[in-house]
Copies of this chain bind each other. A is one copy, B any other.
Amino acid sequence: MTLETVSTSKSFGGMQGVYRHASEATGTDMTFAVYVPPHEPGTKLPVLWYLSGLTCTHQNVMDKGEYRRTAAEQGVIVVCPDTSPRGDDVADDEAYDFGKGAGFYVDATEAPWARHFRMYSYITQELPRVIADNFPADMNRQGITGHSMGGHGALTIALRNPGRFKSVSAFAPISAPMQCPWGEKALGGYLGTDRAAWARHDSVALIEGGARLDALLVDQGDADGFLSEQLKPELLRKACEKAGIPMILRLQAGYDHSYNFVSTFMGDHIEWHAKRLR
């Protein structure tokens, strides 16, 4: 596997890089961003995965997420993948919430999506190997977070891979995709009509089925226009309560769904992860 360096730029004493590689999982080139904080040569650093939301590439959080200051202070590598396969031969949909930019962190089984839309395998298997092989990453100390569709991705991937992530958080996650329009459309489109397949990618269903997390931090703006129809954090809270998962749900007064919300609380989340990854 050859990793191409697209760009590097010093930031907060560390290095913000963008990289590209030919992905076996998706059958396309994939681009991702990695921030490596300042560190002593030879040391291995904890890794925080940040999964992005609908319409995003690796770049949105890199530009607007404001994670580098705290990541530098705390000595945490931050990995920001793309949200779908890309390229002219990749199937797409005109809508913003399906197809390119909307991979939903599943391995699609339905045509024409099954060929390239294999983001679950990409994020859980292939990209971790790339990170381990090319960066000073201690893969025994991983945390995961994400925003909106990426919050869904972070939660479901953590729930399905017990023990891998020592810390889990989310910003305004799609908490129960089986119970909202975005999720019903995406899971139905990528996985077909069998709702048992959907349940493997629904945080609430996974928790109800016995999956567990040690702890969970979720921030949610109360002026978020998607709150009641799409995000539904109360369903996640109820599932966590019933399962005995300690969940901190912070309803942030006046905040919307944008990166102004994410960046405001990014420092808190990185500190939450760093504390658990020491």
Task: Give me the interface of A with B, judged by CB distance under 8 Å.
Answer: 9-13, 16, 63-64, 66, 68-69, 221, 223, 254-256, 258-261, 263-264, 267
Contact = CB atoms under 8 A, between A and B. Distances in A.
B64 A255 contact: no
Grouping DSSP codes into helix (H, G, I), strand (E, B) and loop, the A interface class, with mixed when no group exceeds half, is: mixed
Of A66, A255, A256, the most chain B CB neighbours within 10 A belong to A66
A10 B260 contact: yes
Contacts of A13: 264
Contacts of A11: 260-261, 263-264
B63 A63 contact: yes
A16 B64 CA distance: 13
A11 B259 CA distance: 9
A221 B13 CA distance: 12
Of A12, A68, A223, A264, the most chain B CB neighbours within 10 A belong to A264
A10 B256 contact: yes
Contacts of A66: 66, 69, 263
Contact of A264 (B12, B63, B223, B267): B12
A263 B222 CA distance: 28
22 contacts: A9-B260, A9-B261, A10-B221, A10-B223, A10-B254, A10-B256, A10-B261, A10-B264, A11-B261, A11-B263, A12-B263, A12-B264, A13-B264, A63-B63, A63-B259, A64-B64, A66-B66, A66-B69, A68-B263, A68-B264, A69-B69, A69-B267
